[in-house]
Amino acid sequence: MLLEGLSKLEYRGYDSAGIAVRDGEKDVRVVKARGRLSVLEEKTDGGRTVPGNCGIGHTRWATHGEPSENNAHPHVSEDSSVVAVHNGIIENYQELKEKLLRNGYTFYSDTDTEVAVKLIDYYYKKYKVGPIDAIAKCMVRMRGSYALAVMFRDYPGEIYAARKESPMILGLGDGENFIASDVPAILKHTRRVIYVGNLEMARITPEKAEIIDLNGDVIEKEVTEITWDAEAAEKGGFEHFMMKEIYEEPRAIEDTLHSAIKEGTIDISGTGLTEEEMKSFSSVWIVGCGSAYHVGMVAQYVLEDLAKIPVRVELASEFRYRQPLLAKDALVVIISQSGETADSLAALREAKRQGVKVLGIVNVVGSAIAREADYVFYTLAGPEIAVATTKAYSAQLIGCDLLAVALGRARGVLEEEKIKELLSDLLSLPGKVERIIEDKERIQWFANKFANINDVFFLGRGLDYAACMEGSLKMKEISYIHSEAYAAGELKHGTISLVEKGTMIIGVATQKRIFEKTISNMVEVKTRGAYLCGITSAGNYSMEDTADFVLYVPKSDEHFSATLTVIPLQLLAYYVAVNRGIDVDKPRNLAKSVTVE
């Protein structure tokens, strides 16, 4: 039952897995394995070597600690009195780990989850309280996100749970009950679920399922009948993973921000970079492929303006063969969601061959680029299933913004006051992205105008031009419409000859200093018959005088506007592709990770 349930959750993480099972009064048996779930299935002979009637399981997407058997869940306390699995990120796990070390605890893994388990064990033993009180005391201390399922050796036949931010449901069966991160895991056994609320706990036995609040009081919750089929359930009720992942962008941005903003200031020491090293870099090269390269194009403006450091952006497939003239004290930044892209890995090796330091901005813990880079900044976007990247792109952008602020401080060009302003603006982005997504129907309506067009131009200047590159790639790769991102000032040097009546043009203008310039370029194409959609920040209402249709994004510090303008661009491409009946999650000819040249 556990292995089958986990197989329905593999899309949420698949670098290692484990189960903990007990049969009546007997002790809990834990079996874990690195790699896909199939390795664990083989190791337990399909579960037959660990019979039992009560258990918890986990398939992992590493955030703290490499994928390994040791770091795989379930995690256990020293005497196995507490066993648990966890989905989420305990932000203050280091401070809690130090507290436990001072109280005689030792640790066998690098995970935040093991800290949570031993904190439960600590309160359970020190205060001699029951499971619910021990867990409640932990919830008060832990910051971050968690969906925890916990078994206590002294409480056979019972499973406890606690939730904050990370999703969790209870499944109500007949003579059996379930706890899971998501509906697909239990759909085979029941369609009756209770959604566990934030800061709520649960206690289940075969006969009973209770939701308990932080005061220890049982609370009544509504039972929901799931009507989705299994496949729709995997997408959380969304039609495609891509839309599900667009909805996850605020969370990916927030988790990535919180990994490097501590006590209100910037702290990227987790990458391994020291202030001294950051101060020593004379220039930055940013290297990536596809959308990762487009992140670099945006980051160039942010880094040069905030950190006052020269930046050069290169396609990995070009960089690896051009014998780049790297200064010894340069920093090469390799951006890669998968951390396995062949060209990007080759670019990393070329930089290291030249003795230049490499920082990887990567979404997959333990991936090749993460392992070979000198420093690693992990984006916390979680697994991205759709081939067209959305939340990973946004998290990478945030990673570069944070790097720019950290470099600016180390190089003495950003004062604390300015840093606080920038970080506060960054922390406002998740809410602003949410607001744009909420207004998606307007974009869906506009997408219907693309039904029979064959070309789209995306125009912008500066950082908006870089954002257009990503908008153009999204449109090409999932709707198969030819499109091109163009520096608005370049139009008159040739391309404007392509503009005729009805040509679709998307103009992006958020940068105040060059706003009027971009508008005048948009007027040029408008007078030649183009249909013009403008994307700009709220307040720039003069765009209505020029564009046929305007999409507004909330105001933000201009350095970070691409995090906002990319959302309508992603949604536009998505709706056009859906209108065209294309398989959005698996566009033709493309793979999620290009591990060959």
Residues that bind ligand AGP (CB under 6 A): 289-292, 336-338, 341, 344, 387-389, 477, 593-594
Comparing CB distances to ligand AGP, the nearer of 161 and 315 is 315
Q: How far is the CB of 87 from ligand AGP (least distance, A)?
A: 23
Give dist(CA 86, CA 162) in Å, integer.
Answer: 10
Q: How far is the CB of 315 from ligand AGP (least distance, A)?
A: 10
- Contact predicate 81/154, CB 8 Å: yes
SS3 state at 562: helix
- Contact predicate 107/114, CB 8 Å: yes
Q: How far is the CB of 486 from ligand AGP (least distance, A)?
A: 19
Comparing CB distances to ligand AGP, the nearer of 88 and 339 is 339
User: Quick one: tokens of 130?
Assistant: 């029951």
Comparing CB distances to ligand AGP, the nearer of 68 and 337 is 337
Which residues make Cβ contacts (< 8 Å) with residue 583, sequence separation at least 6?
Answer: none
Give dist(CA 242, CA 255) in Å, integer.
Answer: 19
User: Quick one: tokens of 250?
Assistant: 């605020």
CA 118 to chain centre: 27
Q: How far is the CB of 455 from ligand AGP (least distance, A)?
A: 20
Q: How far is the CB of 397 from ligand AGP (least distance, A)?
A: 12
3-state SS, one letter per residue, for 402-431: HHHHHHHHHCCCCCHHHHHHHHHHHHCHHH
Give dist(CA 177, CA 170) in Å, integer.
Answer: 7
Q: How far is the CB of 470 from ligand AGP (least distance, A)?
A: 8
Count of residues making up the chain: 597
CA 467 to chain centre: 19
Give dist(CA 100, CA 94) in Å, integer.
Answer: 10
Number of H helices and E strands in the chain, helices first, is 20, 26
CA 55 to chain centre: 29
Comparing CB distances to ligand AGP, the nearer of 242 and 414 is 242
Comparing CB distances to ligand AGP, the nearer of 1 and 289 is 289
User: Quick one: tokens of 340?
Assistant: 């396995």
Q: How far is the CB of 53 from ligand AGP (least distance, A)?
A: 42
Q: How far is the CB of 279 from ligand AGP (least distance, A)?
A: 29
What are residue 480's phi and psi, to 5 degrees?
65, 15
Q: How far is the CB of 291 from ligand AGP (least distance, A)?
A: 3
Q: How far is the CB of 390 from ligand AGP (least distance, A)?
A: 8
Q: How far is the CB of 242 from ligand AGP (least distance, A)?
A: 10
Comparing CB distances to ligand AGP, the nearer of 201 and 387 is 387
Comparing CB distances to ligand AGP, the nearer of 59 and 379 is 379
Which residues make Cβ contacts (< 8 Å) with residue 295, sequence separation at least 6?
Answer: 286, 288, 335, 361, 393, 396, 397, 400, 470
Residue 280, Ramachandran bin (φ over 0: left; ψ between -120 and 50: alpha; else beta): alpha
Is the bond preceding residue 250 a cis peptide, omega within 30 degrees?
no
- Contact predicate 588/422, CB 8 Å: no
Q: How far is the CB of 478 from ligand AGP (least distance, A)?
A: 8
In 3D space, the residue among 241, 357, 106 whose CA is nearest the CA of residue 592 turns out to be 241
Residue whose beta carbon is closest to ligand AGP: 290
CA 428 to chain centre: 17
Rg (CA), the chain: 25
- Contact predicate 168/177, CB 8 Å: no
Return the percent helix, strand and coil in the chain, to nearest 5. 40, 20, 35
User: Quick one: tokens of 93?
Assistant: 């796990």
User: Quick one: tokens of 129?
Assistant: 């309280």
Comparing CB distances to ligand AGP, the nearer of 248 and 477 is 477
Q: How far is the CB of 426 from ligand AGP (least distance, A)?
A: 22
Q: How far is the CB of 578 from ligand AGP (least distance, A)?
A: 16
∠ CA(33), CA(38), CA(44), 5° rounding?
60
What are residue 356's phi and psi, to 5 degrees?
-100, 140
